[in-house]
Amino acid sequence: MTLTVTDLAIARGGVPVLEGLGFALEPGQALVVRGPNGIGKTTLLRAIAGLQPPLSGRIEGAEDRIAYAGHSDGIKPTLSVTENLTFWAAVFGARGIEGALDAYDLHELADRHAGNLSAGQKRRLGLARLLVTGRPVWVLDEPTVSLDKEAVGKFADAVRAHLGQGGSALIATHIDLGLDATTLEVGPFRALPKPVDDFDGDFL
């Protein structure tokens, strides 16, 4: 099933940030969202993940199909790595966490409390979480932050495998992941807040 976005306009903190956005994300396809800091990439991904309503426009094909990984990793600090993955697998009704542990080389960290992991280790766990959701559409906001070169490679491999199984991915990133992906440049769609008009005509 295709995720289709039509004539979308979104705001953050009440201020419009993007408008006129449209794209289709097909099964097996990756779409990389690019644009300068503050342009609205996170806001776009949040809207598509259902975390905030758009100002206008349509998002179709998203219901119960999206696994979202934002800036926080969604991990439970007092649970171990294994317990975190088991928890998320149970939430999504999926079974088996071995593949997720393998994909991000987490076996030697399996019994560690997630709260005591390094930033990059936490990020690996946060990304491994995607693999136990069973959800076909990955919506990922700067997924490689804190990852070393090897872990970035593992992430790119996981995305390729996901696409190969008919999944799709919408990824906001500033780095080249070496994926066979289409790019969505959001800069030109930026909508600026209206300037405040406090000019007093009586002054003349």
Sign of CA dihedral 135, 140, 144, 147: negative
Strands of 137-141's sheet in order across: 66-69, 137-141, 168-172, 30-34, 182-185
Q: What are the backbone dihedrals phi and psi of residue 68, each rounded to the nearest 5 degrees, phi first?
A: -105, 135
127 binds ligand ATP (CB under 6 A): no
Using CB under 6 A, which residues numbered 8 to 27 contact ligand ATP?
12-13, 17
Residue closer to ligand ATP, measured from CB, 40 or 136 = 40
Please return the burial class of 166, using the count of CB atoms within 10 Å of its CB with bins 0-12, 13-18 and 19+: exposed
Is 183 a binding residue for ligand ATP by CB under 6 A? The answer is no
144 binds ligand ATP per the rule CB under 6 A: no
CB of 143 to ligand ATP, least distance (A): 12
Binding flag, residue 168, ligand ATP (CB under 6 A)? no
- On the 0-12 / 13-18 / 19+ scale of CB atoms within 10 A, 140 is buried
Q: How far is the CB of 34 from ligand ATP (least distance, A)?
A: 9
Name the token pair of 152: 């970035």
Is the Cβ of residue 1 or residue 191 nearer to ligand ATP in the bound state? 191
35 near ligand ATP, rule: CB under 6 A: yes
The reply to whether 170 sits near ligand ATP by the rule CB under 6 A is no
Q: How far is the CB of 163 from ligand ATP (least distance, A)?
A: 23
39 binds ligand ATP (CB under 6 A): yes
In the complex, what is the shortest distance from the CB of residue 172 to ligand ATP, in angstroms, rounded to a whole number?
6
Helix (H) or strand (E) holding 141: strand 137-141
**Segment interacting with ligand ATP, rule: CB under 6 A, options 36-44, 120-128, 150-158, 176-184:** 36-44
Return the residue matching tokens 């794209």. Answer: 23
Cα–Cα distance measured from residue 82 to residue 85, given in angstroms and rounded to the nearest whole number: 5
Q: At closest approach, how far in Å is the CB of 47 from ligand ATP?
A: 10
The answer to whether residues 177 and 144 touch, using CB atoms and an 8 Å cutoff, is: yes
Choices 31-39, 79-87, 91-99, 175-183; region in contact with ligand ATP by CB under 6 A: 31-39
Sites of contact with ligand ATP (CB under 6 A): 12-13, 17, 35, 37-43
